[in-house]
Chains A and B, each alone.
Chain A
Amino acid sequence: MSDIASRVKAIIVDKLGVDENEVVAEASFTNDLGADSLDTVELIMEFEKEFDIQIPDDQAENIATVGQAISYIEAAK
């Protein structure tokens, strides 16, 4: 697993209180990991902080799964 992927997963485990095994690439934040709309906003903010990037709102809307988050951050770095 890439460094970015493991850091993304750690944030998700911490913020959503889910088991690490559930945090797979295809897992949807809202449908699979129990996030509500505020949780999702918080996750995006945590990614921005952790990786020192800016994720505009219109792009954040497209980040719905663990895999999408990892790909977005890898591309942005």
Chain B
Amino acid sequence: MELKRVVVTGLGALTPIGNTKDEYWDALINGKSGAAPITYFDTENFKTKFACEVKNFKVTDFIDRKESRKMDKFAQYAMVAADEAINDSGLNLDEVNKLRVGVIWGAGIGGLETFQQEVLNYAEGNGSPRFNPFFIPKMIADIAPANISIKHGFMGPNYTTVSACASSANALFDALNSIRLGYTDVVVTGGSEAAVTIAGMGGFNAMHALSTRNESPETASRPFDGNRDGFVLGEGAGALILEEYEHAKARGAKIYAEVAGGGLSSDAYHMTAPHPEGLGVVEVMKNCLENAGLKPEDVDHINTHGTSTPLGDVAELKAISKVFGGHAKNININSTKSMTGHLLGAAGAIEAIASILAIEHGIVPPTINHTTVDENIDAELNLTLNKAQKREVNVAMSNTFGFGGHNACVLFKKI
């Protein structure tokens, strides 16, 4: 059976540095940081007092009050980004065969704030369980794609992939395969997360995973820098419309790029620590190239997982050197997490969007906040430090890795 070709025809982004796809891109190429002191709760007793929150977002500008009340923020963000992507795609929702439109979403956690609030209410009560009837349906990670399908009547495959910070790259790969195999014509895919909460910050702080650079939040996310000290938690959503190539051509759709292939692997090593030699990461990039039918020399740009943690960044770059050999130094490598922070289950989606827009505009966004060389990093690699670089990008790779050792990688190609 011949696989169908799959293209990207719509994008939507709600991020800590921009609330639409265009604002997001503008912030990316201008090296804007989304980090600031947390406004959602009192951080006095927290080790880390900052994060990359979504800013100036009023849900009722997009979703009516009654509906929005039944959604955790992670589901609200999903709905808003998906709507932007659907509009951007120009799909005529009255004409498209909705039986063949799927929604395959990624979320690492789901409704963490809802969970936290309901359990707190219980703890403060008299022991009688007075849980809100919307508690479970608001919290579960699969409710985001459910809400999107309910709004638009999309009756194709509908589910959420959960692989921590690789979740939305997993979703993208599943969306690609669904269309490739002929199960669907269109898939709304992407991911969302809203974990900037007491439980989220407290939990990640307990793991020593977060930067504690409280005196300078905007420079705290510094992937590949010698003084990096952990990731910065972010939140938001990214949405992509994937469409079968002939379907897109037939309706004269704007095509951003082709989804050339994807790869998956597992470290099979540790719950949270990356494999020191990046073995699973080597495998995932190799898988991805093979799946896309591309050679290492074809790749112009890699949007790394690059979270700004001491171990993870070095392991990933070692893996890149291993997979790409001498060509590694020709690649524009970056980490847009230096600007957005780490959006967990939404990271794969917003970074896929950054990679696709790099192809579209011929500009690679920078890795900001680099001031100190890390001697464990090969000085020959071009990490696109501090300033965006003009670069014809024909093929871009986006890496994501999740706690649990889940690795997912997607390749996009100019069309």
Contacts and interface: CB of A to CB of B under 8 A. Distances in A.
A45 interface: yes
B134 interface: yes
A38 B130 contact: no
Interface residues of A, number: 10
B66 A17 contact: yes
Interface string B66-101: 110100000000000000000000000000000000
A61 interface: no
A42 interface: yes
Interface string A24-53: 000000000010001001100100110000
Main secondary structure on chain B at its contact with chain A? loop
B65 A45 contact: no
Nearest to B70: A38
Interface in A42-74: 42, 45, 48-49
A4 interface: no
B215 interface: no
User: Is the interface on chain B under 10, 10 to 19, 20 to 34, or 35 or more residues?
Assistant: 10 to 19
A16 interface: yes
Contacts of B66: 15-17, 34
A41 B130 CA distance: 11
Contact of B133 (A34, A42, A48): A42
A42 B132 contact: yes
A23 to B, nearest CB: 14
Contacts of B326: none
B137 interface: yes
A41 B133 contact: yes
A2 to B, nearest CB: 26
A38 B133 CA distance: 6
A45 B64 contact: no
A42 B69 CA distance: 12
A42 B65 contact: no
5 contacts: A16-B66, A38-B137, A41-B133, A42-B134, A45-B130
